[in-house]
Structures are given as structure tokens and as C-alpha cells.
């Protein structure tokens, strides 16, 4: 079991101590959560980054329970976006309670928990989000000021020989082109890495480009799944269908409008996904 970010007890910062206490309290209450964000990324890649928050992933059905548990531990909570994100705050500490992504893709379900990985975070045994789901969620982050392609490439490099590639391909499903794009970039970045199955990109390319095109897709814009800001002109002015909106996607018009209107986070290592 990996030990993440556990300095000597006397050297733990007040911020880290607050997160440790929250994790301990949630464990004592048997709260159903997984740890993601920087802690999980460091575990899978050994790339350490400073972080000012703690990312917890939950199924939607468990969100309110986890928020209630955090409130009982002294945290103030609120739902930031009904379709994917809640927050818990205490002084200058922030815990993000996440059950999906702003674009409605990579929503947390039981499979996240079935394939979770054990680790020590701040000295406590917890379950991390699976590496496949981390790739799945990061692959769609292509905002003007935030692109997680390097994170995906590093996940492939460090975890590629252990990833369940068939499950990952299934997770992407109709969005397989996004995975293919990252595989092509990976082969360019690391031409001799051999961390990805040799024929995977070819098989995916044959799958996504040989199928018969759906005439309805000619008026569909999937760019909004990659960036909520940069493809607004396509849906707002040029009349293309928003791929986030049902029945193409999983979001309602009200959820899309709320997410589009939100201010993007500042760029930087701690900025949250703009999906």
C-alpha cells in the first residue's frame, strides 16, 4: 500500500491535518468515498504537486450523506452544481465532493468503487479512484487555460502496463475518438515507451472511422464536452446541437446554462476541471 504525503506527525501542516481529520471522521462513519485529485495522481505517476484542496468522489446517491457526515465534523457544505459538484469548507480549507464532471461524462458509479486502489493518504488507509477512471475524466479537459493531456500521457507512461485497456475503451464508449487522440499524442511524445498495447490505436481507428456516419451527427457539436467556453458559438449562434443536452447527453438545458454561466477557475496546478 503506497504512503502518500505523510511527513512526521509534528510536521503536518494545519491544512493537511484538517484534511486528515476529515478523512478519519469519514472512515469512522463508514462514508462511501474515494480519494482523487493530486493524491491519486501522485500515487499513479509519482509526480508530486502542491495542493490546497482534497477531492473526494462519491456516487450521486451518496452525496448528501457524505455532506451530512462532513457537516457533523464541523465543515460547512453546499452544492455548487447539482449535476456534479458539492463543496465543504472550513477556514481556508476546501473539500470537493464530486459525483461526475461538468460535461456530464465520466459520472461516478459503482464500477469506480469496484476497481478502487488502496493507498495511504496522510497516513490513513483509503481507496483511490481507479487509474482507468482518472484517465477517462482527465481526457476531456481541453479548456483554453487548462489541458490535461500531459496528465493523461503520464498516466499511460506510468500505468500503461497495468491498465485494463478493454475496460477503459468500454468506458469511453461513443467517445472513443477522444481516447484515440490521446493515444496518438502519447505515441508522438514517447515513441519508444511501449506502455500501450501495440495495436490499440489501430483497432480504435478502424472502429471509429469505418463505421457508417449517422446523418444526425452532422448537426451535433461535441466540442462542448471538451470545453464549455470555446464551442459556445457553435451551439449559441450556429445552431449546432449541444452534445451535453439530452438525448445526446445527460444534462438538462438548465444544468448547461448554469455551468456555462459559472466563472472558470484561475489557471494553475490547483485549478479544478472545467468540464
Residue 275 has pLDDT above 70, yes or no: no
By mean pLDDT, which of 8-12, 73-77, 184-188 is the weakest? 8-12
Average pLDDT, the chain: 91
CB 223 within 8 A of CB 201: no
**What number of residues does the chain have?**
275
| Residue that is last in its domain, among 180, 211, 242 | 211
User: Which pLDDT score, from 0 to 100, does residue 1 have?
Assistant: 54
Residue 241 belongs to what domain range?
218-258
Report yes or no on 265 lying in a domain.
no
Report yes or no on 106 lying in a domain.
yes
Residue 210 has pLDDT above 80, yes or no: no
Report yes or no on 40 lying in a domain.
yes
**Mean local confidence (pLDDT), 166-176:** 96
User: Which pLDDT score, from 0 to 100, does residue 265 have?
Assistant: 53
| Residue that is last in its domain, among 70, 97, 129 | 129
User: Which pLDDT score, from 0 to 100, does residue 207 have?
Assistant: 84
Dump pLDDT digits (tens) for 221-251.
Answer: 999 999 999 999 999 999 999 999 999 999 9
CB 174 within 8 A of CB 167: no
- The verdict on 7 and 124 lying in the same domain is yes
Higher pLDDT residue, 207 or 185? 185
Q: Per DSSP, which regions of 179-245 are E strands?
A: 220-221, 241-242
User: Which pLDDT score, from 0 to 100, does residue 268 have?
Assistant: 46
- The verdict on 20 and 105 lying in the same domain is yes
Dump pLDDT digits (tens) for 20-73.
Answer: 999 999 999 999 999 999 999 999 999 999 888 999 999 999 999 999 999 999
By mean pLDDT, which of 48-52, 117-121, 157-161, 163-167 is the weakest? 48-52
Q: What percent of the chain has pLDDT over 90?
A: 82
C-alpha neighbours within 13 Å on the C-beta side of residue 148? 26
Report yes or no on 71 lying in a domain.
yes
Domain count, the chain: 3
Residue 273 has pLDDT above 80, yes or no: no
- The verdict on 147 and 225 lying in the same domain is no
14, with CB counted inside 10 A (0-12, 13-18, 19+), is exposed
* Single pTM value for the model: 0.90
- The verdict on 95 and 12 lying in the same domain is yes
- The verdict on 36 and 106 lying in the same domain is yes
User: Which pLDDT score, from 0 to 100, does residue 6 have?
Assistant: 47
Q: How far is residue 63's CA from residue 73's CA, in Å, rounded to a whole number?
A: 16
User: Which pLDDT score, from 0 to 100, does residue 8 have?
Assistant: 41
User: Which pLDDT score, from 0 to 100, does residue 43 have?
Assistant: 97
Q: ω before 14 within 30° of 0 (cis)?
A: no
Q: How far is residue 176's CA from residue 209's CA, in Å, rounded to a whole number?
A: 11
User: Which pLDDT score, from 0 to 100, does residue 13 have?
Assistant: 87
- The verdict on 150 and 123 lying in the same domain is no
Q: What percent of the chain has pLDDT over 70?
A: 89
Report yes or no on 199 lying in a domain.
yes
Dump pLDDT digits (tens) for 89-120.
Answer: 999 999 999 999 999 999 999 999 999 999 99
Amino acid at each position: 500500500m503506497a504512503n502518500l504525503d505523510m511527513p512526521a506527525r509534528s510536521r503536518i501542516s494545519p491544512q493537511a491535518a484538517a484534511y486528515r481529520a476529515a478523512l478519519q471522521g469519514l472512515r469512522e462513519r463508514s462514508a462511501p468515498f474515494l480519494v482523487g485529485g493530486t493524491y491519486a495522481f501522485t500515487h499513479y505517476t509519482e509526480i508530486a504537486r502542491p495542493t490546497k484542496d482534497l477531492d473526494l468522489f462519491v456516487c450521486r446517491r451518496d452525496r448528501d450523506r457524505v455532506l451530512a457526515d462532513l457537516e457533523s465534523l464541523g465543515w460547512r457544505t453546499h452544492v455548487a452544481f447539482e449535476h456534479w459538484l458539492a463543496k465543504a469548507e472550513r477556514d481556508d480549507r476546501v473539500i470537493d465532493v464530486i459525483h461526475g464532471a461538468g460535461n456530464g461524462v465520466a459520472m461516478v458509479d459503482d464500477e469506480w468503487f469496484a476497481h478502487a486502489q488502496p493507498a495511504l493518504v496522510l497516513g490513513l488507509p483509503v481507496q483511490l479512484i481507479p487509474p482507468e477512471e482518472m484517465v477517462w475524466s482527465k481526457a476531456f479537459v481541453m479548456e483554453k487555460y487548462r489541458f490535461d493531456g500531459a496528465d493523461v500521457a503520464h498516466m499511460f507512461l506510468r500505468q500503461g502496463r497495468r491498465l485494463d485497456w478493454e475496460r477503459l475503451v468500454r468506458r469511453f464508449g461513443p467517445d472513443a475518438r477522444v481516447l484515440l487522440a490521446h493515444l496518438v499524442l502519447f505515441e508522438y511524445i514517447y515513441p519508444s515507451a511501449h506502455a500501450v498495447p501495440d495495436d490499440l490505436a489501430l483497432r480504435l481507428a478502424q472502429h471509429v472511422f469505418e463505421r457508417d456516419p449517422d446523418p444526425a451527427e452532422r448537426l451535433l457539436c461535441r466540442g462542448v464536452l471538451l470545453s464549455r467556453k470555446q464551442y459556445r458559438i457553435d451551439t449559441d449562434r450556429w445552431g449546432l446541437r449541444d452534445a451535453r443536452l439530452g438525448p445526446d447527453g445527460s444534462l438538462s438545458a438548465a444544468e448547461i446554462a448554469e455551468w456555462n454561466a459559472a466563472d472558470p477557475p484561475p489557471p494553475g496546478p490547483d485549478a479544478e476541471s472545467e468540464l
